[in-house]
Chains A and B, each alone.
Chain A
Amino acid sequence: MKFKVNGQEVYASTGGRPFDKNKPLIIFVHGSGLTHMTWVLQTRYFAFHGYSVLAIDMPGHGLSSGKSLKSIEEMADWLSSLIDSVGYKEASLVGHSQGCLVTIECTSRYPNKIKTLSLMGGAGAIPMNPDLLNLAENNDPKAVDLMMDWAHGPAGHFGGHPVPGLYHINTGGMLAKSRTIKDTLGVDFRACDNYKNGFDAAKKIKIPTLSILATGDKMCPVKEGKKLADLIEKSQVEIIDNCGHMMLLEEADRVLKVLKKFITTNYPSKFK
């Protein structure tokens, strides 16, 4: 569905069910250069089981208009405005990679609005490899190829997508190339690299928080994810083995199982 946030048109997938303002809201926030489509194997479950789902395209990404936001702090404020724009007072947040930085910052800034936080492949800081940053800012498609290489675990490099017939690495790559690389990935990587407030933000978070980390994650290694989780008061960590940074696709079912249990326990819906 399309709606406006701060006057700009935003696209969000509602997970295959109509958006229903009576149901509790879960917002999914994608990683650098990606789109709502990375969440297809998590969102539809919640949409079919009593929740309203918004898997958003950040400004300038996917089907959303406008320009990419330049800092994690701006993205966090924008996310809070998005909740207002769709007529909600509260929401549950789920983030992947850069989306974790955004949702951590948002939760620390708007503690009463956010009810649970789920982080996948998250860390307190995501300093970028300078070569990768440079390629992305120079609009070089190699940036996407490198990201897809590093973002998939050893098993993910062979494929074996949970949806029959889909090939991970090329699908992810095509998502990241769907708009101009320097305007999406380039801006996002710079925003991640610049963001220094993650650990301080984490200390302020008092809501139930889930961190899903993967043993083969080279971009946000388990060690970094745990460092962040240790700072959050009500934090729970789940580790997925034999999997890389793209856990939401590489091990979609295992990720969904953990997420399902966490959200239905901590943010139950009275709807079916």
Chain B
Amino acid sequence: MSDKKKTVDPNTYKFDTLSLHAGYQPHKNAGSRQVPIYQTTSYLFDDVDHAAALFNLERGGHIYSRISNPTVGVLEERVASLEGGTAALATSSGMSAIFLTVMTLCEAGDHLVVSSQLYGGTVNLFRLTLPKFGIKCTFVKPRDTQGFKKAIQKNTKGIFGELVGNPGNEIMNMPEIANIAHDAGIPLIIDATYQTPYLCKPFEHGADIVVHSLTKWMAGHGSSMAGILVEGGKFDWMQNDKFPTMTKPYEGYHGLSFAEEFGPTAFTMKARAEGMRDFGPCLSPQNAWNVLQGIETLSVRMKKHCSNAEEMVKYLLAHESVAWVSHPSVPDHPDHELAKKLLPNGRGSMIAFGIKGGKDAGVAFINNVKLASHLANVGDTRTLVIHPASGTHSQMDEATLKFAGLSHDMIRLSVGIEDINDIKNDFEIGFRAARKPRLVSNQ
């Protein structure tokens, strides 16, 4: 037989095409090639029947922009398509996406198992704020895979973590932790802000819900706050009696059972119909549009972020002022092999390094770089630096700092897409100052 036999392959659009087109049909929008900004709070009903139909979830459509908006809807579909998910709900920030996810999943009396290496704001939410709602958490170090299993209790409703911990770059063994979650009949929720679906699609490795701060790499331009929760659609909410608010009749919608009625999109439907309706952290159409502009170039940008990051890793490793470098591309990084498997398209653009001379040297470095911006954000197209011990994580005491994988000499670097030589030259200025902290700091 000839080996030329044609294999049939699906011709659904691929990643780069989806990042430009998914979720939008121009012919339904006056032919407008660009996604229109529906700057409106509310939408006309055709008649009373139409109004009732929308409120009864008989049909799709928009009622009020807190619940849904056509511009925001395009963003939601676009991210769902890029992640390989069934549905998504965009929110006013990454924090509100995490909060709505937890509130959709849990009730007072419930418990979560959470990775200890998280963005500082998320740590505060889990450690201090959620207990006020009666939701408790047990923190486990991201590399302690079996620790996640041991921490699961009868009332545990999910496992939450950032795939690559912030800012220590420790990687969770997502496939194994997903199995642990699924054996316990609970979902795995991954904050994939640092990866974007270009680097990793957590649903392909067992995650059930993905959250993003779109404020970061997804948008890239650092102009707009936004977040999103995305549903994988595989998790069976009806397999046990742990999720009554998903499976039992819901009074707020004529006794609707989200799991029965919406199956693979049940979580998002509930997050919108209940969480967004009642808490209200909706994304503005203007910000949704801004984020869409960024997503159009996601692949192009992520490639440059990653190649610049790998160059910076080499530069830092060879530098006399650098004590250590943490990035999954470094061969002796403990998760080097796992990173190859989970992040085949690049290991991300977050680098942590230790500066010789400890805290004072760190402060001098930060105060003297000119091109790199010193600010509390990551994932901008511009290079960003911060000294966590005196910045993002400054509210933590010594012990908590250590548990979160931090040290006083650590500088966190979010590599931008500038010319690589300009970034290196800028760092030379910083390092020079760090070697003589008393002479040049605070200029």
With CB as the reference atom, state the residue of chain B lying closest to A155.
B25
Contact A165 B77 (CB under 8 A): yes
A45 neighbours in B (Cβ, 8 Å): 53, 58-59
B53 neighbours in A (Cβ, 8 Å): 45, 48
Residue B393 is within 8 A (CB to CB) of chain A in the complex: no
Residue B12 is within 8 A (CB to CB) of chain A in the complex: yes
Contact B10 A165 (CB under 8 A): no
Q: Given the known A-B contacts A41-B60, A45-B53, A167-B85, are A145 and B12 also in contact in the complex, defined by CB atoms under 8 Å? A: yes
* Complexed CA–CA distance, A40 and B259 (Å): 12
* Complexed CA–CA distance, A165 and B267 (Å): 12
With CB as the reference atom, state the residue of chain B lying closest to A134.
B8
Residue A175 is within 8 A (CB to CB) of chain B in the complex: yes
Contact A158 B22 (CB under 8 A): yes
Residue A268 is within 8 A (CB to CB) of chain B in the complex: no
Q: Given the known A-B contacts A44-B58, A170-B84, are A175 and B263 also in contact in the complex, defined by CB atoms under 8 Å? A: yes
Residue B195 is within 8 A (CB to CB) of chain A in the complex: no
Q: Given the known A-B contacts A163-B60, A252-B59, are A149 and B23 also in contact in the complex, defined by CB atoms under 8 Å? A: no
Stretch at the interface among B86-94, B97-105, B324-332: B86-94
* CB < 8 Å neighbour of B61 from A62, A148, A159, A162: A162
Proximity string of chain A (120-135) to chain B, C-beta cutoff 8 Å, 1 when within and 0 when not: 0000000001011000
B85 neighbours in A (Cβ, 8 Å): 167, 170
Contact B260 A13 (CB under 8 A): yes
With CB as the reference atom, state the residue of chain A lying closest to B253.
A16
* Complexed CA–CA distance, A204 and B378 (Å): 68
With CB as the reference atom, state the residue of chain B lying closest to A146.
B10
Residues of B126-166 contacting chain A, CB below 8 A: none
Contact B10 A40 (CB under 8 A): no
What's the tally of chain A residues with a CB closer than 8 Å to chain B?
A: 44
Q: Given the known A-B contacts A16-B253, A48-B52, A171-B265, are A166 and B12 also in contact in the complex, defined by CB atoms under 8 Å? A: no
Contact B58 A63 (CB under 8 A): no
* CB < 8 Å neighbour of A158 from B21, B70, B238, B265: B21
With CB as the reference atom, state the residue of chain A lying closest to B271.
A165
Residue A113 is within 8 A (CB to CB) of chain B in the complex: no
Residue A197 is within 8 A (CB to CB) of chain B in the complex: no
Contact B12 A157 (CB under 8 A): yes
Residues of B330-365 contacting chain A, CB below 8 A: none
* Complexed CA–CA distance, A62 and B263 (Å): 9
Q: Chain A nearest CB: distance from B127 CB in Å? A: 30
Residues of B8-28 contacting chain A, CB below 8 A: 8-13, 21-25, 27-28
Contact B57 A16 (CB under 8 A): yes
* Complexed CA–CA distance, A253 and B263 (Å): 21
Contact A162 B59 (CB under 8 A): yes
A138 neighbours in B (Cβ, 8 Å): none
Residue B68 is within 8 A (CB to CB) of chain A in the complex: yes
Q: Chain B nearest CB: distance from A65 CB in Å? A: 13
Residue B272 is within 8 A (CB to CB) of chain A in the complex: yes
Contact A174 B25 (CB under 8 A): no
Contact B27 A155 (CB under 8 A): yes
* CB < 8 Å neighbour of A166 from B25, B84, B86, B260: B86
Residues of B371-417 contacting chain A, CB below 8 A: none
**Looking at B8, B56, B69, B76, which has the most chain A CB atoms within 10 Å of its CB?**
B8
A66 neighbours in B (Cβ, 8 Å): none
Residue B264 is within 8 A (CB to CB) of chain A in the complex: yes
Residue A207 is within 8 A (CB to CB) of chain B in the complex: no
**Looking at B9, B59, B255, which has the most chain A CB atoms within 10 Å of its CB?**
B59
* Complexed CA–CA distance, A253 and B233 (Å): 24
* Complexed CA–CA distance, A138 and B412 (Å): 49
Residues of B37-91 contacting chain A, CB below 8 A: 52-53, 56-62, 68-70, 72-73, 76-78, 80-81, 84-90
With CB as the reference atom, state the residue of chain B lying closest to A45.
B58
A132 neighbours in B (Cβ, 8 Å): 8
Residue B422 is within 8 A (CB to CB) of chain A in the complex: no
Residue B248 is within 8 A (CB to CB) of chain A in the complex: no
A146 neighbours in B (Cβ, 8 Å): 8-10
Contact A165 B57 (CB under 8 A): no
* Complexed CA–CA distance, A178 and B268 (Å): 18
Residue A203 is within 8 A (CB to CB) of chain B in the complex: no
B56 neighbours in A (Cβ, 8 Å): 16, 44, 48
Residue A67 is within 8 A (CB to CB) of chain B in the complex: no
Contact A165 B12 (CB under 8 A): no
A252 neighbours in B (Cβ, 8 Å): 59-60
Q: Chain B nearest CB: distance from A53 CB in Å? A: 11
B68 neighbours in A (Cβ, 8 Å): 164-165
Contact A157 B254 (CB under 8 A): no
**Looking at B27, B28, B56, B90, which has the most chain A CB atoms within 10 Å of its CB?**
B56
Proximity string of chain A (199-212) to chain B, C-beta cutoff 8 Å, 1 when within and 0 when not: 00000000000000
Residue A187 is within 8 A (CB to CB) of chain B in the complex: no
B76 neighbours in A (Cβ, 8 Å): 164-165
Q: Given the known A-B contacts A17-B254, A174-B233, are A253 and B81 also in contact in the complex, defined by CB atoms under 8 Å? A: no
Residue A37 is within 8 A (CB to CB) of chain B in the complex: yes
Q: Chain A nearest CB: distance from B50 CB in Å? A: 10
* Complexed CA–CA distance, A163 and B58 (Å): 10
B11 neighbours in A (Cβ, 8 Å): 149
Residue B234 is within 8 A (CB to CB) of chain A in the complex: yes
Contact A148 B10 (CB under 8 A): yes
* Complexed CA–CA distance, A63 and B247 (Å): 13
With CB as the reference atom, state the residue of chain B lying closest to A35.
B263
Residue B262 is within 8 A (CB to CB) of chain A in the complex: yes
Residues of A156-205 contacting chain B, CB below 8 A: 157-167, 169-171, 174-175, 177-178
* CB < 8 Å neighbour of A40 from B9, B262, B272: B262
Q: Chain A nearest CB: distance from B11 CB in Å? A: 6
Contact A165 B233 (CB under 8 A): no
Residue B256 is within 8 A (CB to CB) of chain A in the complex: yes
Interface contacts beyond A16-B256, A166-B77, A166-B87: sample of 10 additional A-B pairs, CB < 8 Å, sorted by A: A13-B261, A63-B238, A132-B8, A159-B25, A163-B265, A165-B89, A169-B12, A171-B264, A178-B263, A252-B60
The 3 closest A-B pairs by CB, nearest first: A162-B60, A174-B233, A164-B68
27 residue pairs of the A-B complex, CB under 8 angstroms, read A16-B261, A37-B261, A41-B58, A44-B59, A48-B56, A48-B58, A132-B8, A148-B12, A157-B12, A157-B13, A159-B78, A160-B77, A164-B62, A164-B69, A165-B68, A165-B76, A166-B86, A166-B265, A166-B268, A167-B87, A169-B12, A171-B87, A171-B264, A177-B234, A252-B59, A253-B60, A253-B61
